[in-house]
Chains A and B, each alone.
Chain A
Amino acid sequence: DAKTTQPPSMDCAEGRAANLPCNHSTISGNEYVYWYRQIHSQGPQYIIHGLKNNETNEMASLIITEDRKSSTLILPHATLRDTAVYYCIVREIYGGSQGNLIFGKGTKLSVKP
């Protein structure tokens, strides 16, 4: 079972920031937080990952709370092409079967003009 909880859907206006929350209250010290997204009928696309510090790349920013029990993915200026299902996944860093990516239901983000 997925170890994360996400809202099933969210709307965002084009050009505005999209803030996608994720709860992972049972995360352990050796688990990363990963974000992927899946545009309709395509394979998942890696967005970003982090352990405990906030991270930023060309696609998004990841804010992880100090207790690591929740995180927020921020798309700073959402476009229509960002409409997708966003998956928050926790994954062990030491490998083995617990290092596999297990997908939950994700959040369907709809960016509207």
Chain B
Amino acid sequence: GAVVSQHPSRVICKSGTSVKIECRSLDFQATTMFWYRQFPKQSLMLMATSNEGSKATYEQGVEKDKFLINHASLTLSTLTVTSAHPEDSSFYICSARSSGGYNEQFFGPGTRLTVL
């Protein structure tokens, strides 16, 4: 299957700082990208969906001003957690889907965020 990468794989930051996570589709053009969050022992929860060049669509309960998403190119989306707090500590996973293969959606390896 297609490859989706994330960087960094893990990050530790102090409370109040901002953290940027990158998601790249390595061998296909991702017209739609998704960001999920997963707390320990829980399932993945969809945070937002973004289409290249458009504003992201956030799921209910997800603060758009806190979780900034930029999908500026067909191979790159970024998630910025602004003014991070300990309760934002989680496993963040991106996913990408191409226009040519609607049924195909691939996931990145995830980023472990720990806010002290």
- Chains A and B form a bound pair: yes
Chain A residues packing against B (C-beta within 8 Å): 32, 36, 38, 41-46, 49, 87, 93, 95, 97, 99-106
Which listed segment binds A: B12-20, B69-77, B97-105?
B97-105
A93-B103, A95-B102 known; A43 vs B108 contact (CB < 8 Å): yes
Residues of A within 8 A of B36 (CB): 103
Q: How many residues of B contact A (CB 8 A)?
A: 24
A100-B34, A100-B46 known; A42 vs B109 contact (CB < 8 Å): yes
Q: How far is the CB of B114 from chain A (nearest CB, A)?
A: 13
How far does the alpha carbon of A43 sit from the alpha carbon of B106 in the complex, in Å?
9
Q: Which parts of B69-116 form the interface with A (CB within 8 Å)?
A: 91, 93, 95, 102-110, 112
Q: Closest residue to B45 on the A side, CB-wise? A: A103
Q: How far is the CB of A20 from chain B (nearest CB, A)?
A: 16
A-B residue pairs in contact (CB < 8 Å), sample of 8: A36-B107, A43-B93, A43-B108, A44-B93, A100-B34, A100-B46, A103-B36, A105-B43
A41-B91, A43-B109, A43-B110 known; A104 vs B103 contact (CB < 8 Å): no
How far does the alpha carbon of A93 sit from the alpha carbon of B103 in the complex, in Å?
8
How far does the alpha carbon of A36 sit from the alpha carbon of B36 in the complex, in Å?
15
